[in-house]
Chains A and B, each alone.
Chain A
């Protein structure tokens, strides 16, 4: 697989601005989620994708509406790219009665069959076989959709990673797996996760393409993912993309990440995905101060609206109906 710039040539100025909008939206959304957690209004786990914006947005932007998204917990922005709205996401994080899971699960752990978004579970890697199963159904029905799933560099050691790729590669399923290598799995640094040169080398064992990319460059992420998506669409099977980023905050909101050297964070801060992209857009004269303010104001008011809406929405009332574990046939 080569970084293909053909796909960038097809991007319009509007697309460039959309990428900027979604990356900024993701960061603002996560900031507001973090605030809600600190205020005690979100009671469950909050996992930040700060530093991961280019990877989450660039990859999801490579999908069509008929494609399936299986995001991880640091990909909140991918939900928005796929069409999810802020109000629904806020309801879900706040455990409200009208959230997609009606309060039975939190954070990004919901499914939206219409938008074709299937959230993760907390067991890392457990969704890769499930994503492979959706890819199998696509092949079964002779459809042209693809499935995009994510895993961390730490999670790539889980057995399901291997099983799902062994399974999908032999059957040539339309699955794209992004390994978000963000340097830390909870507190464990990357050198304790593998002695291999790079995580994408794992692809060799399955006879599929594997590539390592700069996960802070949204255009590189987009074009490489797009190439893998189109390859899968043509029936050529799965790909692995290792997207190298930095987890700029702790594992979860309660973790201050004391174990990450300040100098390392500082080094990565120079490559902040949003700032990098912003200056590129300024250089290309696609973005200027006035458009930038317009976009950021729009985001602020959208988030404010979602916050007001979700904080005023009712919590679930326990009822028998909410505890059903089987679908009853009529």
Chain B
């Protein structure tokens, strides 16, 4: 099986869908001639032409709005935000137009907005955001956030084929730091389905995106030192949440750690914690703990960014508290 980086897997998935379906097209800033700020779409213009790989003006609201319009009449646009941070410029288009279209009009809206997100790349306050919680609260937007190359390819294909607006959150730190097996076949992963990335009976760790990799390391360390078995649920999709997989794991372990790179207050973890409290209170043997970034903008200078972000140590320490509870 071919081994690919995370970014190659996204690129491969996009390419296959463009080959497969002529109604799929790309629009965004610098994605054509230049091949994208991160080179996700390198070579696409040469293969698919400027009608399907559209270099646009710098106008995020127009990019997302135009994707909505094209999707309304049956095309399958994929809009790239150069950095997830810039999607704030398209907020009205997403939360008022895209999110409310099916509810109001019962019309399919098959569009994807790609959001290169996350920190640990020294991007500072305007190139490092984790945008998921802004949109998690908006009914009508699906959100996926793959952590591995395998999931990245399977989910970009699923997002493109979904008849609803899907925000595809791709973590920039993972782009070239994570490699994995990616089958050279046409496979599509279901949206709304979490994946247990490590099996265990003692503690449930719920995470997604970049934090999966630090969580796996922390869990191995805890196991090596204490023999504690952590089960890691990789959400993969944030909206709709896979409550079944979350609940099954929590029922088994009775202890829960939720980890995300996004800031803690009002994050995805808060909702998951509330769901577990409402549904599985009697199964719990310890308070639910959340690990996330500090409630502040992402800082620029490396020592500050390292202090700000969750990491293997912070996850390990939280796991240890739960183990001892």
Contacts and interface: CB of A to CB of B under 8 A. Distances in A.
Interface of A: 68, 100-102, 104-105, 109-111, 113, 118, 121, 123, 126-137, 139-140, 159-160, 162-164, 166-167, 170-171, 323-327, 329
Looking at B62, B75, B106, the one whose CB has the most chain A CB atoms below 10 A away is B62
Nearest to B77: A133
Contacts of B68: 129-130, 133
Interface stretch (B51-59, B116-124, B176-184, B268-276): B51-59
Contacts of A134: 69-70, 72-73
A126 B92 contact: yes
Contacts of B195: none
B116 to A, nearest CB: 21
Nearest to A166: B57
Nearest to A131: B69
Contacts of A136: 27, 54, 66, 69-70
A166 B59 contact: yes
B27 to A, nearest CB: 8
Contacts of B71: 133
B200 interface: no
Contacts of B61: 129, 159-160, 163
Contacts of A329: 162-163
Given A105-B104, A326-B140, A137 B70 contact: yes
B162 to A, nearest CB: 7
B123 to A, nearest CB: 24
B66 A121 contact: no
Nearest to A132: B66
A130 B104 contact: no
B92 A123 contact: yes
Interface string B88-106: 0000110011011011111
B107 A130 contact: no
B96 A121 contact: yes
B78 to A, nearest CB: 13
Given A160-B93, A325-B102, 14 more contacts: A111-B107, A113-B72, A113-B73, A121-B97, A123-B96, A133-B65, A133-B67, A164-B66, A166-B59, A167-B57, A167-B62, A324-B102, A326-B240, A327-B163
Cβ-closest 10 pairs across A and B: A133-B69, A129-B65, A133-B66, A163-B59, A163-B62, A167-B62, A325-B140, A130-B69, A134-B69, A111-B105
A140 B93 CA distance: 21
B142 interface: yes
B72 A118 contact: yes
B59 A167 contact: yes
A318 B60 CA distance: 36
Contact of B65 (A110, A128, A325): A128
A102 B107 CA distance: 13
A92 to B, nearest CB: 11
Interface of B: 25, 27, 51-52, 54, 56-57, 59-75, 77, 92-93, 96-97, 99-100, 102-109, 139-140, 142, 162-164, 240
Given A118-B72, A123-B92, A133-B72, A166 B105 contact: no
A326 B102 contact: yes
B63 A167 contact: yes
Contacts of A113: 72-73, 107
A163 B69 CA distance: 14
Contacts of A160: 61-62, 65, 92-93
Given A133-B70, A167-B62, A171-B54, A126 B104 contact: no
A137 B75 CA distance: 7
24 contacts: A68-B73, A104-B103, A113-B72, A123-B92, A123-B96, A126-B65, A126-B92, A126-B96, A129-B61, A129-B64, A129-B68, A129-B69, A130-B72, A130-B97, A132-B69, A133-B72, A135-B69, A136-B66, A136-B69, A136-B70, A167-B56, A324-B102, A326-B140, A327-B109
A164 B62 contact: yes
Q: Which residue, B54, B56, B73, B93, has most C-beta atoms of chain A within 10 A?
A: B73
A100 B106 CA distance: 9
A104 B25 CA distance: 31
A164 B66 CA distance: 8
Nearest to B164: A326
Given A137-B73, A159-B61, A167 B66 contact: yes
Contacts of B59: 162-164, 166-167
B134 to A, nearest CB: 17
Most buried by A among B54, B57, B65, B97: B65
A91 to B, nearest CB: 15
B65 A130 contact: yes
A126 B163 CA distance: 22
A135 B140 CA distance: 24
A110 B100 CA distance: 12
